[in-house]
Amino acid sequence: MPMIDGNAVAGTFADRHKLAQDLAKAVMKWENVPPINLFKKNTAAFIHELASEAISNAAGGSNYVRVQVLTPINVLNREKQLDVVRELTDIVGAAAGDPTLVNRTWMLSPKLQKAVGESIVMQTRARKLSPQPVQSWEIQSELTILENIIRYLS
């Protein structure tokens, strides 16, 4: 069963329970499972609030959200993973009341071609959610760099 974790600065979301439920329902939809109690009661999201000093990018910014989605292997193909990224980041932005947050929401999801546990990071702007135009070579370059980092650290 999938598990979803969201991490953000305390106060980012007014209704964490609704956000958790919306994220869980969205993952169920993309996994294409029936909306029966077996799946509804075993698909969960956890929203973790962190102090602002507990989150930082290299420039010092802490206005980011990280969402990790763990699903059984081979449940979401690459196309569905990208669709999940798009929908979950939209849900996060709406829950925060800040549509620009989709550009600062980072997703971790299992990489289907590798063993369970190896992850890749996808920044949402790679799916044209950013007002900035992104060239396809930039997306591929970012993913290649991240995949190489993961390979190196493994």
In 3-state terms the chain splits into helix, strand, coil percentages (rounded to 5) of 45, 20, 35
Q: What is the pLDDT of residue 7?
A: 96
Q: What pLDDT, in 10s, does the model give residues 115-131?
A: 333 344 444 434 434 44
Band of residue 65 on the pLDDT scale cut at 50, 70, 90: very high
Cα separation, 98 vs 93, whole angstroms: 5
Domain extent, residue 22, equals 3-153
Under the phi-then-psi rule, with left for phi > 0, alpha for psi from -120 to 50, and beta for the rest, what region is 74? left
The answer to whether the CB of 67 falls within 8 A of the CB of 40 is: no
Supply the CATH number for residue 78's domain.
3.30.429.10
**What number of other Cβ atoms are within 10 A of residue 41's Cβ?**
9
Phi, psi of 135 (to 5 degrees): -80, 145
**pLDDT, mean over the chain:** 78
Number of domains the chain contains: 1
